[in-house]
Amino acid sequence: MISLEQVIKIQDILIDKFGGAKGIRDLAQLESALSRPYQTFGGIELHENQFHKAAAIIQSLLINHPFIDGNKRIGYVVMRLILLEKGWEIIATQDEKYSFVINIASGKMEFNEIANWIQSNAIRISIE
């Protein structure tokens, strides 16, 4: 699980590198987005695999807009980190990634579509 402190630090780095305004707009929305992939019901995880966890985090960060700026950037980066934890990487063109993120942010992709896109564009990598 990626901590609140880690995400804030990553957001600061992204803003320093690419520009924008630093700061959290809604801490509760940020905490909610970060916990969504790991939610359980009756001791059973609601998001059973890395693709669903990754879809949950990117959708929540893009829809909740917890940061003042850069929500799409941080959403994509944290999604990738969740995948990388278990040895998965996204292989897609910049245009495909851009369209993917914009479609989520504009509400044009439902959760299952997001998860399917991630899974169909992911490849197994070696982690050591």
Q: What is the DSSP letter of 38?
A: G
The predicted structure's pLDDT at residue 128: 62
Q: Give the residue numbers spanning the domain of 26.
A: 4-124
Kindly give the residue spans of alpha helices, DSSP state H, lying in 86-121: 94-105, 111-120
Distance from the Cα of residue 124 to its chain's centroid: 18
- pTM for the model: 0.94
Per-residue confidence (pLDDT) for residue 48, from 0 to 100: 86
Q: Distance between terminal CA atoms of the chain?
A: 18
Residues of the chain with pLDDT under 70: 128
How many domains is the chain built from? Answer: 1
Can you give the pLDDT at residue 126? 82
Give 15-29 pLDDT, tens digit per residue: 999 999 999 999 999
The CATH number covering residue 91 comes to 1.20.120.1870
